[in-house]
Copies of this chain bind each other. A is one copy, B any other.
């Protein structure tokens, strides 16, 4: 599909475009220009056109982009035409919040297996799913054809869990533990780290204080 290699920054922006287009659609817009899209997302119009051009020409000169059409293309490009079964590792406060989050399902992501290392939690049924022991990972992940895992466990246990998951066939990890996981290069990891995000903002707040 993509001829030139697509930079990761572009892929990340693609998800933004997709979001913005969904919102355009919901507001009844049929056509949108790169200019408009850019204003919604604080991105230049040229950036958007360049990014999209990695995948083809989806717009019409003088007109812009058909919202439904571009949405369809991005959906396919981002792999959102299929459904993605996911495993949730760690059923603490955060894990439970993820379990109840409705957003995943809307884009075809579904948590289909729960794992926890706490014997008190194993066997419990939450939102219709049984909590399995970590030891079940090697068996259940391949069986359920799970390629994506949500990792919401304590930092110390994250690497070990990641190793097991990858061994069992997981190729993408959404990591909530504040640690850099060591993974093979064909495995994808995205870090979800509120503390790091906060710290990168206090840098500016503290700097602004010093030089008012």
Number of interface residues of A (CB under 8 A): 62
Bound-state Cα–Cα, A188 to B85, Å: 35
Q: A198 on the interface (CB 8 Å rule)? A: yes
Among A77, A94, A178, A202, the one with the most B-chain Cβ atoms within 10 Å of its Cβ is A202
A190 adjacent to B195 (CB under 8 Å): no
**Closest residue on chain B to residue A209 by CB atoms:** B79
By secondary structure, the A interface counts as helix
A12 adjacent to B196 (CB under 8 Å): yes
B80 adjacent to A199 (CB under 8 Å): yes
Given contacts A19-B178, A93-B96, A94-B97, contact A79 B206 (CB under 8 A): yes
Partner of A12, one of B12, B97, B200: B200
Q: A192 on the interface (CB 8 Å rule)? A: yes
Residue-wise, chain A 127-152 has the 8 Å CB interface mask toward B (1 for contact) of 00000000000000000000110100
A82 partner residues in chain B, CB cutoff 8 A: 206
**Closest residue on chain B to residue A196 by CB atoms:** B15
Q: A41 on the interface (CB 8 Å rule)? A: yes
Q: Of the 9-residue stretches A65-73, A101-109, A114-122, which lies at the interface with chain B?
A: A101-109
